[in-house]
Amino acid sequence: MKWWNDLSSYRRAMLLSLGAMLVLSVVRILTDADDLTSSGTISSTLRVGTPILLAGMAGLWAERVGVVNIGIEGMMIVGSWLGGYGAWHWGSWAGIVLALAGGALVGLIHAVATVRFNVDHVVSGIAINVLAAGSTEYLSIIFFKGQQGGGESQSPTGKGGYGTFDMPFLSGGRIGSWKSPDILGWIERKQSWPLLPDLAAFGRGLTSNVYLPTVLALAIVPFTMWLLWRTRFGLRLRSSGESPQAGESLGVHINKLRYQALAVSGALAAFGGAYLSCVLTSTYRQGQTGGQGFIGLATTIFGNWRPFGVLRGALMFGFPTALKYRNAKNVPALFVVAFIILLIVGVVLLLRRRWVGGVVSLAIAGLAEFAYLAIEKVPETLVTATPYVVTLFVLAGARQQLRPPAHAGQPYRPGESH
């Protein structure tokens, strides 16, 4: 496998993504699960995965600068409450703007605790989660109780909404009053073809009926990649997470960078919360985040602290849920997907003489195939748990390739000998 090791991480990711799409295409044809790779499923995956993507990006910004942000869940809670409040009073976009400002403020509070007073990062994050849950519940009683459509645990319905985006020619978007051809849709309907309709459906899912806040969230991924890996500011920020002593010796203001990065981290997390209360619904509801801030942290690790890796992780988490919402009858096809992937992984591990991992992978592959043949309807709890189980396997198998920022979570005071 020398040729594989010689490939860049970008090319490896592209080949793995193409391989995963090929597996899905084969399973779609074998099981007649047409919704497995449909543009509707991809579009739903994008919507479900966007809050997780934003939470993962929040974790990336924090840990790249050297601070562990366990408080992402709390920042999302604050964002969802402020989003609901702002949308109720001034409209949907105002809700998102208010959430961004509030999230940045909470991120700065986390920075004051961890950077200024050297509070343990985990303790500070947990405190933010607890305070956010309690304070938003209290504020809901003050502001929402007694209002039309509101109550102790939810806000009144927000004003306005968001437009959707269709790419002209690719997905049949309009140019003025003229509706352009839907090229990707035409290819997607050729269900008897392998791979090509699935790739077209993937592209159409990303370019049709997409909410404008979703487009904004997706744009954050390449922007973050460019900013952190192609600019002087990004180099300095990453040096704060890798070796703040070295950065300080070159005149970098480490603490200033950490304040800035944590403000961005808080704003991104709050954007994810506001997406739940302003985009997916038009109402804030207590418990709306449902632990997605912690899932976002998992995608940060899954993505190896890189933006496009976080995006892949968010889509992976959103896919089973989106498929369930679209057509629950197609969910059992995921067992066949797991069978093929684990079979390939098991064979590769055996060829590398990693006997235990290979045998375990093949055994689990056999269980997945047996489950597909024996189970007609997959329990909802199992569907919900699928991405978590997959993540555990991926992280366990790729632990040697994962490389977190060297100084993330460690205390640091400028000017002191370390």
Tokens of 192: 């008897």
Band (393; pLDDT cuts 50, 70, 90): low
The answer to the question of residue 46 being in a domain is yes
176: left (phi over 0), alpha (psi -120 to 50) or beta: left
Helix axis angle, 307-326 relative to 292-302, nearest 10°?
130
Burial class (CB in 10 A: 0-12, 13-18, 19+), 377: exposed
Task: Flag the least confident range among 82-91, 147-156, 164-173, 385-394.
Answer: 385-394
Mean of the pLDDT values across residues 326-333? 75
Band (296; pLDDT cuts 50, 70, 90): very high
The answer to the question of residue 235 being in a domain is yes
Q: Structural domain tally of the chain?
A: 1
Separation CA 58–CA 266 (nearest Å): 7
Task: Flag the least confident range among 246-260, 262-276, 340-354.
Answer: 340-354
The answer to the question of residue 340 being in a domain is no
The answer to the question of residue 412 being in a domain is no
Q: Does 328 have pLDDT greater than 70?
A: no
Q: Does 90 have pLDDT greater than 70?
A: yes
Beta bridge partners of 175: 178
Provide CB contacts within 8 A for 17, sequence distance 6+.
312
Average pLDDT, the chain: 88
The answer to the question of residue 319 being in a domain is yes
HSE at residue 393, side-chain half, CA atoms within 13 A, is 17
Range of the domain at 263: 33-166+209-332+376-397
Mean of the pLDDT values across residues 157-184? 85
pTM of the model: 0.92
Mean of the pLDDT values across residues 364-370? 88
List pLDDT tens digits, range 151-166: 999 999 998 778 787 8
Mean of the pLDDT values across residues 183-187? 91
The answer to the question of residue 125 being in a domain is yes
Task: Flag the least confident range among 99-113, 132-146, 262-276, 340-354.
Answer: 340-354
The whole-number pLDDT of residue 314 equals 92
Q: Does 312 have pLDDT greater than 70?
A: yes
List pLDDT tens digits, range 108-140: 999 999 999 999 999 999 999 999 999 999 999
The answer to the question of residue 341 being in a domain is no
Q: Does 400 have pLDDT greater than 70?
A: no
Helix axis angle, 72-89 relative to 92-111, nearest 10°?
150
The answer to the question of residue 343 being in a domain is no
Task: Flag the least confident range among 15-24, 195-204, 206-215.
Answer: 15-24
Report the CATH number that the domain containing residue 112 is assigned in CATH. 1.10.3470
Provide CB contacts within 8 A for 48, sequence distance 6+.
317, 318, 321, 322, 325
Separation CA 227–CA 294 (nearest Å): 25
